[in-house]
């Protein structure tokens, strides 16, 4: 039987029989590609679902830990709450398939070094299947979240007179005669309290970080006895929820459904009585919430039946001698101007009148003067000068609504 072998043709190419091995190589490469695509579908999908689960667990853990920070300053309590919430959502910090880290304060990013922030990071691994043909490394995802705690606000903790500054002398300065300040916490100074005049009564307790000087007063009583405590510094109790901007456009109290009367006054919001950076609404009837981009001077005006709240980015001189009742959120006057020690951002004075509401100057001084005043409210300011005579001041906690602890996830 005769056989023939393939021989090159006259062009020098090999005969077709010699290319049969190339198909095997091609099929092998094709199989690798198909397995890689299958790995992307199967392992990639699993990784996506793992990330979804880990993100949910991270958010739950940071909310739990941050809320714990709102209610406790013990870092162990904060960390336990975070680890517990992560475990309930399937990530138990076993060090093998997952790792959970709770930091208070965060080590990086938003809130680094701030104990009001909590950081939670969860890393988890999953076994690989088809993808290991082209990627032999571990499959791992990480999720991170940062939360911030806004502590609850209890209006009963607000003193009738509160001097915020820890450096200004005479942070609370009391003069006049026949006056009384009465509250569950009558007054607190982050520096000193100076009392002059006569026949004053402080009912409900007084605390001063820098000392209490009554040498220039006569017949002034403190019930219970005033306390000088160098470790008693307090944060401004109104700072978290009651900035002046919360009373402006899009702010919490501007959008209050119980506050239908809202007015913006300033350079870009013309008012006939706004000139040279100050609003002077003399002779007008005022009612509602006024957000003033500048100073306010009220010397002769009438307050409408529903009251007023004035929030100014500058100073407020409220010396018109008229009865006034707050309109929204318990605040009568808020002034955001920053002043030096002894300079007032709020001036309030009058005679034989009543004020009902809180006066608040977080960055400047406030002064109360006059006679025969009846004040239902509080004065919270950088410094407080109280020089009224024949005057009674009582802080009623029902002026302000309590606010529960609030958690915000910032990252």
Instruction: Break the chain into its structural domains and give their ranges.
Output: 23-150, 155-403
Q: Say if residues 177 and 389 touch (Cβ distance below 8 Å).
A: yes
372: three-class secondary structure by DSSP? strand
Q: Using CA of residue 10, residue 16, residue 18, residue 24, what is the dihedral sign? A: positive
3-class secondary-structure state, position 27:
helix
Question: What secondary structure does DSSP assign to 339-354, as a single string?
Answer: --TT-EEEEEEEEEEE
From residue 266, give the alpha-carbon distance in Å to each of 258, 270, 292. 24, 6, 6
Is residue 1 very low, low, confident or very high in pLDDT (cuts 50, 70, 90)? very low
Q: What's the rounded Cα separation, in Å, for the pair 345 and 367?
A: 9
Q: How far apart are CA 133 and CA 243, in angstroms?
A: 59
343 contacts 317 by C-beta, under 8 angstroms: no
| pTM of the model as a whole | 0.78
Residue 405's pLDDT band (boundaries 50, 70, 90)? Answer: confident
33-59: pLDDT as tens digits:
555 565 455 556 667 778 889 999 999
- Of the pLDDT bands very low, low, confident and very high (cuts 50, 70, 90), residue 10 is low
Other C-beta atoms closer than 10 Å to the C-beta of 407 total 19
């Amino acid at each position: 039987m005769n056989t023939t072998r393939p021989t090159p043709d006259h062009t020098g190419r090999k005969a077709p029989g010699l290319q049969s091995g190339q198909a095997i190589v091609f099929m092998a490469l094709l199989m690798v590609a198909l397995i890689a695509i299958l790995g992307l579908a199967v392992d990639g999908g699993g990784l996506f679902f793992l990330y979804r689960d880990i993100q949910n667990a991270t958010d739950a853990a940071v909310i739990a830990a941050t809320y714990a920070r709102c209610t406790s300053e013990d870092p162990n309590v904060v960390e336990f709450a975070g680890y517990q919430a992560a475990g309930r959502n399937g990530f138990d910090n076993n060090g093998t398939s997952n790792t959970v880290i709770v930091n208070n304060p965060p080590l990086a990013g938003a809130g680094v070094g701030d104990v009001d922030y909590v950081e939670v990071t969860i890393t988890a691994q999953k076994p690989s299947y088809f993808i290991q043909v082209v990627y032999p490394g571990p499959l791992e995802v990480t999720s991170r979240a940062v939360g911030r705690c806004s502590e609850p606000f209890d209006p009963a903790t607000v003193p009738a007179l509160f001097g915020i500054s820890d450096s200004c002398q005479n942070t609370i300065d009391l003069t006049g005669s026949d006056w009384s300040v009465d509250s569950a916490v009558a007054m607190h100074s982050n520096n000193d309290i100076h009392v002059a005049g006569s026949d004053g009564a402080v009912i409900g307790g007084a605390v001063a970080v820098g000392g209490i000087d009554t040498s220039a007063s006569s017949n002034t009583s403190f019930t219970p006895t005033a306390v000088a405590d160098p470790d008693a510094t307090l944060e401004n109790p109104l700072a978290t929820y009651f900035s002046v901007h919360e009373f402006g456009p899009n702010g919490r109290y501007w959008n209050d459904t119980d506050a239908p009367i809202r007015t913006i006054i300033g350079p870009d919001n013309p008012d006939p009585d706004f000139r040279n950076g100050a609003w002077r609404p003399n002779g007008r009837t005022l009612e509602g919430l006024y957000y003033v981009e500048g100073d306010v001077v009220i010397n002769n005006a009438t307050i409408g039946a529903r009251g007023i709240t004035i929030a100014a980015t500058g100073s407020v001189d409220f010396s018109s001698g008229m009865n006034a009742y707050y309109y929204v959120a318990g605040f009568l006057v808020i002034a955001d101007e920053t002043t030096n020690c002894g300079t007032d951002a709020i001036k309030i004075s009058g005679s034989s009148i009543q004020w009902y509401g809180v006066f608040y100057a977080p960055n400047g001084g406030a002064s109360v003067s006059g006679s025969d005043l009846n004040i239902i409210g509080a004065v919270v300011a950088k410094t407080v000068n109280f020089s009224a005579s024949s005057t009674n001041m009582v802080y009623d906690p029902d002026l302000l609504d309590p606010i529960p602890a609030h958690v915000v996830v910032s990252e």
